[in-house]
């Protein structure tokens, strides 16, 4: 039977990291971030935390540096809050999936708008051209 302990530990780490960033860490480099998921290795030695945030590329770089600086503090705080024999090493990664999803949705919206414009604009002229006889057939 497969153990779901890494998943439970990952959920606990995500919840605690969210609370720690919101209430305990006062680094101005860390903007408003949301932890989307945490993946913990089966041996519970490594935790990869994926986050997303609002802002441009410079804000993303600043947040990544600030998270790097805060990693030892966050790990120590996790050790105090969670009952684990060994606190996993923390790694932070920007979650690109949200940005990709937004881009796909924008492309689909643009395609729907384009198709709606084509169907609305082409309904009247097509009806007129199909009603007129073709001059090429007379020759």
Mean pLDDT of 40-63: 91
pLDDT at 77 exceeding the cut of 80: yes
pLDDT in tens, 80-98: 999 888 999 999 999 888 7
pLDDT at 3 exceeding the cut of 80: no
Strand order in the sheet with 89-94: 33-40, 46-53, 89-94
pLDDT category of residue 133 using cuts at 50, 70 and 90: low
**Phi and psi dihedrals of 85, rounded to 5?**
-65, -40
55, HSE (Cβ side, Cα atoms, 13 Å): 18
pLDDT at 74 exceeding the cut of 90: yes
pLDDT category of residue 1 using cuts at 50, 70 and 90: very low
CA distance linking residue 44 with residue 3, whole number of Å: 12
pTM for this prediction: 0.69
Count other C-beta atoms under 10 Å from residue 14's C-beta.
20
pLDDT in tens, 102-129: 888 889 999 899 888 888 876 655 444 5
Place of tokens 């998943």: 7
Please enumerate in sequence order all residues whose Cβ is within 8 A of that of 34, keeping only pairs 6 or more positions apart, or say none.
Answer: 18, 51, 52, 53
Q: Please tell me the CATH code under which domain 5-98 is placed.
A: 3.30.300.20
Mean pLDDT of 57-77: 91
pLDDT in tens, 11-42: 999 999 999 998 888 888 887 889 999 999 99
């Amino acid at each position: 039977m497969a153990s779901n302990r890494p998943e439970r530990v990952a959920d606990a780490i995500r919840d605690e990291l969210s609370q720690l960033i919101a209430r305990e860490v006062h680094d101005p480099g860390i903007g408003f971030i949301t932890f989307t998921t945490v993946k913990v290795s089966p041996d519970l030695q490594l935790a990869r935390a994926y986050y997303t945030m609002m802002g441009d590329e410079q804000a993303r770089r600043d947040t990544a540096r600030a998270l790097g600086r805060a990693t030892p503090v966050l790990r120590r705080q996790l050790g105090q809050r969670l009952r684990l024999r060994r606190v996993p090493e923390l790694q932070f990664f920007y979650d690109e999936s949200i940005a990709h999803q937004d881009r796909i949705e924008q492309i689909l919206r643009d395609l729907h708008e384009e198709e709606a414009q084509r169907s609305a604009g082409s309904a009247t002229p097509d009806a007129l051209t199909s009603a007129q006889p073709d001059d090429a057939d007379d020759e």
